[in-house]
Amino acid sequence: MPIRIHGFSTEIQNSRIRYQALVDGVPLWIELDESITPRSAGNFFVGAVLLHAMYEGQEIHLDESLPVSTDYLSSIAALQSIYCQWNGKLKQVSIIACEKEDIVLNNDSASFFSGGIDGSYTLACKPEINFVLCLNSFEGREQPDAWLNLIRRQRDFLANQGKTLLHIASNYRQLTEAWGVSHQFQHGIALGSIATFLGFKNTYIPSSFTSDYLFPWGSHPLTDVLWSGNDFRIVHHGIDVSRVDKTRKLADNPELLNNIQVCWKYVDRNCGECHKCIRTMTALKFFSMHSVALPELKDIAHIADFKVTSVAAVPFVEELAYLAEERGYEAVARKLRHRVRRFWIKHHADELLKLLVGDLLGPVVRRMRRNTWSTYKVHVTNQQK
Ligand SMILES: [Zn+2]
């Protein structure tokens, strides 16, 4: 049975336009400022269901009212090949839709942004970016009121910088998580699909990782660029600069530095206590920089308490260890490296156990560790369980 995307409709309210369709009867929508004229809406809807369809091995059928851009359909074939290599459980699926030769209508540059170091660094490097895309499916999902506070504040801030904030809201993450799709995987497809839907001449996706630390991940330099079309391009930006060096670069742009929003706990302010706040405060301290968005780090020894909980966290802790050593805090650097070593020992012990006994013990171990991501069935790779 194919997955059907049907019942397309649009609705305008308070200068916002909502594009909605039904995925096998379940509403899926995306909402934008009315002033933006996007390309074919089918681009967004295909991206939202793609991984679910690939896992289930089902074709995606779109009603005639939902065409898909021709260049998008050719990109998505190449992207599917890579996703299948990353995760052997995924299958190439056909997309049955009316094709449309879309042209680029927004001859501007845009970048995804939520106030963090990576996004701020991209804005600092690329002054030609005049539209800033804020998507609610990351920080905005669990604290919607605080997210709207952040949007209001960032809109004013960016207007002073001569940029226009575009607030993009969608319920795609509720659906993809209900289908068991990991957001670590889905987020890159969401960004690529939304970029091809909006159709800016250039769209920047700020990178999280550097070129020496790459692994299959939703937003990836190999795949992000493949979302580009005939007359527009998607750029994976900042892969050559570490997170701490991006922080240092913001010293040249005090407005962006004072605007950073990095917290894991709060959406519209920084708590100054969570690991991500402390990590950022530590880098600022080492560089003798100050941001009004964060309190000053009182005790550098706090950072030695970091827990490394995933492969994705390793490079950021290693960067800080290197920086600590460079600045003469050898004891802190040793402790951080010890944390990384302990993480790898546990990680490889888990892998060894799986090699020896298969995944028989996996469900028990995952339940004991209460890993929320273990409830997903579609991960970036087969190994990530
Ligand atoms: Zn925090």
Please compute the mean of the pLDDT values over residues 302-318 and round it to a whole number: 83
pLDDT higher at 383 or 145: 145
Distance CA 374, CA 184 (A): 12
| pTM recorded for the entire structure | 0.91
352 burial type by CB count under 10 A (0-12 exposed, 13-18 middle, 19+ buried)? exposed
Please tell me the predicted confidence (pLDDT) of residue 368: 57
DSSP string over 76-130: HHHHHHHHHHH-TT-----EE--EE-----EEEEEEE-SSSHHHHHHHHH-TTEE
Q: How far is the CA of 294 from the centre of ligand 1 (A)?
A: 9
* Tens-place pLDDT, residues 186-195: 999 999 999 9
Please choose, from the candidates 49, 39, 35, 164, the residue with its C-alpha nearest in 3D space to the C-alpha of residue 95.
49
Q: Cα(296) to centroid of ligand 1, in Å? A: 13
Q: How far does the centroid of ligand 1 lie from the alpha carbon of residue 341, in Å?
A: 25
Residue 81, number of CB atoms within 10 A of its CB: 11
CA 144 to centroid of ligand 1, rounded, Å: 17
* Nearest-angstrom CA–CA distance, 99 and 170: 24
Centre of ligand 1 to C-alpha 164, Å, is: 27
Q: In the predicted model, is pLDDT for residue 139 greater than 70?
A: no
Q: Residue 385 has what pLDDT?
A: 45
pLDDT digits (tens, 9 = 90+) for 253-303: 999 999 999 998 999 999 999 888 998 999 999 999 999 999 999 888 778
CA–centroid distance, residue 264 to ligand 1 (Å):
5
Q: Is the pLDDT of residue 70 over 80?
A: yes
Distance 303 CA to ligand 1 centre (A): 13
CA neighbours within 13 Å on the CB side: how many for 281? Answer: 22
- Which is more confidently placed, 373 or 208? 208
- Tens of pLDDT, residues 76-132: 999 999 999 999 999 999 999 999 998 777 889 999 999 999 999 999 999 999 999
198 three-class SS: helix
Question: How far is 199 from 204, CA to CA, in rounded Å?
Answer: 12
pLDDT tens, 334-384? 999 999 999 999 989 888 887 887 766 566 655 555 555 557 888 988 765
If you measure from the C-alpha of residue 169 to the centroid of ligand 1, how many angstroms do you get, rounded to a whole number?
Answer: 24
Dist. CA 376–CA 354, nearest whole Å: 18
Query: Rounded to an integer, what distance in angstroms lies between the CA atom of residue 279 and that of residue 294?
Result: 11
State both tokens at 41: 């809406």
DSSP letters along 229-268, please? -SS-EEEEE-TTS-HHHHHHHGGG-HHHHTT----SS-SS
CB burial class (10 A; 0-12, 13-18, 19+) of residue 61? Answer: middle
CA angle 212–213–219, rounded 5-degree value: 120
Angle between helices 42-56 and 70-86 (to 10 degrees): 30
Mean pLDDT of the chain: 91
Neighbouring residues of 91: CB distance < 8 A, sequence distance ≥ 6: 54, 57, 84
Contacts of 184 (CB under 8 A, 6+ apart): 217, 218, 312, 373, 379, 380, 384
| Cβ neighbourhood burial of 85 (10 Å; 0-12, 13-18, 19+) | exposed
Could you tell me how many helices (H) and strands (E) the chain has, helices first? 13, 12
Q: Ligand 1 centre and the CA of 279: distance in Å?
A: 10
* 269 Cα to the center of ligand 1, angstroms: 8
